[in-house]
Structure 1
Amino acid sequence: MVVGSLVNWFAARQAVKGGTSGGRYTKLEKNIPQIRRKKAWERAGEDKESWFKRKYAHIHAREKFEQVRDPFGKKKAHEDRLTMIEKRNKVQRDEHEKKFEKRSAIQGLKVNPLMEYVYGTNGVLAALQANKREYYTRVLHYGVLPRSIAKLAEDKDVKVEESDKHRLNLLTNYAVHNNVVLETKPLQPDELSHLQMCNPETGTFQYTEMVLENDYASRESRYLVNENKKFPLGVYLDEIVDPHNIGAVIRSAYFLGADFIVMSRRNCAPLSPVVSKTSSGAVELIPIFYADKPLNFFSKSQEEGGWAFVTSCLAKSDSRSTKYTRGKTLELSDLNGMCKELPVMLVVGNEGSGVRTNIKMRSDFFVEIPFGRSDVTGSETPVDSLNVSVATALLLNSLLRSSL
């Protein structure tokens, strides 16, 4: 402050005097010593940029890993408060959304994966009458329950529950359930090893059941005897994969008088509620067996029981099967009265490829249903065969008719 005043006074004085020689002014700062503190980089003999890089370059990186100092916990308390508010808002939002969420179509409907749901009036009635299943859980119905089903359910102590139609649709996959569904244990057919001898006088035949892998038991079963049938008649299903076809075959076999059904376990469709519905409950009324080893079943049944295996096939469809069918082909009329002479197993095959070759090799006879339209002979037509269930019904009818 004093230096500044002195400079101003000296400048004013020089102006009054008219200046120094030559008309130039002399600055007072040059004659007064300047006191200035040296900078740190100047004392170190470095330029500013180099000094700062050497001195403070590591500070920023270290701060990244150092915990922020919060000696009084104010920052943590603030963060906790914000977290609590966020959680409270989320809970309120979730509760609000639940009031307007779209309810699931099967909400409240508990389906037991270990059970199956037999549907249809005839199927449910037959299942309760036959009593072949291990146990029954409940009968679900919509509207008036048929009196016969209600009486059987009461006798067997089966719970009866009234339900809505939508739930029944879900349980049956929108099938035609006739407003009644039975929750029950699935059918468990016996494992058949092979067939044995028959006794026409008593109307019984023997068979060997596979209890365990290497444990067998001999069983006896009755069969139907009438004027056209002295020996038993069975139907073997080989690789039929459509459950509707299996149900239709079982229904025809039961209605026409066949005694039992044998199915290849690994290739056929299972005995599902669809089969029960299509068979109109016949799956509960006719004995059904599984054969895990078909070739062994054929061979031993022929050797020990004298059973004749008649296979349905199209002789003209596969030239390779000619060597198996040569000398063994029967006309449809040749089947008439066969069940009066010997026990018969009718073999029917897959909807597309028919009976497998290894099964044909072990068959005793072959039969083909003739094509009845002579006007298209020699020309290609998409309708060149019958449905397996229809063909089975025709063959069974021929076997069960007496010869003329």
Structure 2
Amino acid sequence: MQQPLEKIKVIDLSRVYAAPAGSMILGDLGAEVIRIEHPNGLDSMRDWGPFINGQSTYYLCANRNKRSITLDLKTTEGKEQLKNLIKEADVLLENFKTGDMKRMGLHYKELKKINPRLIHCAVTGFGQTGPLAHEPGFDPVIQAMSGLMDVTGHPEGEPTKVGVPIADILTSLYVVIGVLAALRMRDITGEGQFIDLSLLDVQISSLANVASAYINCGFISKRLGNLHNNVAPYQIFNCLDGPLMICAGTNDQFRKLCKLLGHDEWAEDERFLTNALRKEHESILSEMISEITKTKTRDEWITLLRDYKIPCGKVHTISEALEQPQVKARNLIGELEHPQYGTYKFIKNPLQFSGLNIQYKLAPPLLGEHSNEFFQQSLNTQQ
């Protein structure tokens, strides 16, 4: 089946997670992704365990559907080989520190001379401008500086980072969005362009309602643990066998919850008539609900809550999350075979199309796995 990004060639100079995960998605959609690494292998993600058959499971989660070749960009030969690749490329993706590409003579202004249709996406911690432009960016630092950690965690606890590298993950999505938009614009203008993508910019833009509340009203959100900044009841309640998330986000849902709990009168209580009032009296309301939820198991409550169309869900461990029937029904876990390190499992791309099957052709490559093959092809082409 034809893929949407067939014949799009991506040269990927990036390391670690944010940019490589972006190029992986482009590869899932059919692009030819050529991953270029230093011959000594400088991507630290290859060194982060745990390991399966000698391969980092961290590296595996961001590098399928790519080929790997090695080039030393500090040498004239390496730079020339890269430029030859760029002549035929559609996209260059890199996450060098601001200024490094210019020092190597590989700045966009130079590269577009040899390929005016090139789309150059540069991912950095803080962008190409501003007082921190030349500083390195790491996901936990970005979570801290963006304010995300200050609104994550329990009120009595310390600021807390999200349990996955969320700034990197969100940035990988913007890599894809930016590249697709630039490709569409190139269809119109015939020209490529430079994309300046910053982890801090991405995380600031992802503060959503928290940022909107501040810039419009001066309202500063606080750490609330599993409570919601703006809605109540919208939190975890303990049951006989563990925690359950219940989200009664509308007045109608709250009335249904009151009926289910056997307390229709709560819906008429002046303290709880509106969401704003429920939020104001949240601690009292939460205690009242908790006294009832702890009398049944989570499965018992889920059956009842779903009958009343009230959103709810168990707080799963990672193993429970990946083994739950819904995940299995969606067929989200796939397998790929590599001739050297065998079979490994991966989480599939979540996009499901009516007229497209995403293809998983290539397992994450070994360092320089395709160098000989690739340069032999280039040599044959030149002859």
TM-score, normalised via structure 1 length: 0.21
**Higher Cα Rg, which structure:** 1
Larger RCO, structure (CA 8 Å, separation 6 or more): 2
